[in-house]
């Protein structure tokens, strides 16, 4: 298990760039809402903790994880933002639906990162059980929403440095 011995949700604020001037878009899937809300709260609180202003954090909801691609693309095209964070949760069931959704969302996010000069951060849990998702959305393995927020800040900082 990748995070079994290390909780990556613990960050040293002194090593993170100040996010006060950064603008964030967050697209949140309504499917598995108890998980995605925990991930959103983790991301939101980490952004604010690192200096982001609440007016510079824009949230849009979409019905499911597959729709995250469209929501993120619309954010890239319609908003003046520095990063998009997509938050979703797909839990394996009895059919191939899990594999198709996970593959499509992953490829869609990869495509957005190739298409736009603004990073799209992938915070979509793809777990076998609800308990695994709970453990990663504020449970014993931390909160992947926090990790996605820190990744967004670091990627904006890198993007800013590269564009100078």
CATH number for the domain spanning 27: value is 3.40.50.960
Spatial strand order in the sheet of 120-127: 57-62, 24-29, 83-91, 120-127
Q: Is residue 7 part of a domain?
A: no
pLDDT, position 5: 58
Q: What is the pLDDT of residue 1?
A: 43
| Per-residue pLDDT, 4 | 57
CA 120 – CA 149 distance, rounded (Å): 11
Structurally, the chain folds into a number of domains equal to: 1
Q: What was the pLDDT predicted at 6? A: 60
Please name the residue ranges forming H helices in the chain: 33-49, 68-78, 97-115, 130-135, 144-162
Cα gap 150→156, rounded to integer Å: 10
Tell whether 124 is covered by a domain. Answer: yes
Tell me the residue range of the domain where 127 lies.
20-162
State yes or no: is 141 an active-site residue: no
Catalytic residue selected from 6, 13, 20, 97? 97
Q: What is the pLDDT along the chain (164 residues), one digit of tens a residue?
A: 455 556 667 888 889 999 999 999 999 999 999 999 999 999 999 999 999 999 999 999 999 999 999 999 999 999 999 999 999 999 887 777 878 887 888 999 999 999 999 999 999 998 889 999 998 988 888 899 999 999 999 999 999 988 87
- The C-alpha atoms of residue 131 and residue 144 are separated, in whole angstroms, by 14
């Amino acid at each position: 298990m990748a995070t079994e011995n290390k909780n990556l949700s613990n960050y040293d604020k002194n090593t993170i760039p100040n996010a006060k001037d950064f603008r964030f878009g967050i697209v949140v899937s309504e499917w598995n809402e108890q998980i995605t809300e925990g991930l959103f709260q983790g991301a939101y609180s980490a952004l604010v903790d690192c200096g982001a202003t609440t007016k510079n954090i824009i949230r849009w909801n979409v019905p499911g994880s597959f729709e995250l691609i469209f929501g993120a693309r619309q954010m890239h095209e319609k908003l003046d933002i520095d990063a998009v964070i997509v938050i979703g949760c797909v839990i394996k069931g009895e059919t191939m639906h899990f594999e198709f959704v996970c593959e499509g969302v992953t490829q869609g996010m990869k495509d957005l990162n190739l298409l736009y000069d603004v990073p799209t951060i992938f915070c979509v849990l793809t777990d076998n059980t609800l308990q695994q998702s709970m453990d990663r959305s504020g449970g014993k393995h931390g909160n992947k929403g926090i990790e996605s927020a820190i990744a967004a800040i670091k990627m904006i900082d890198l993007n800013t440095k590269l564009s100078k």
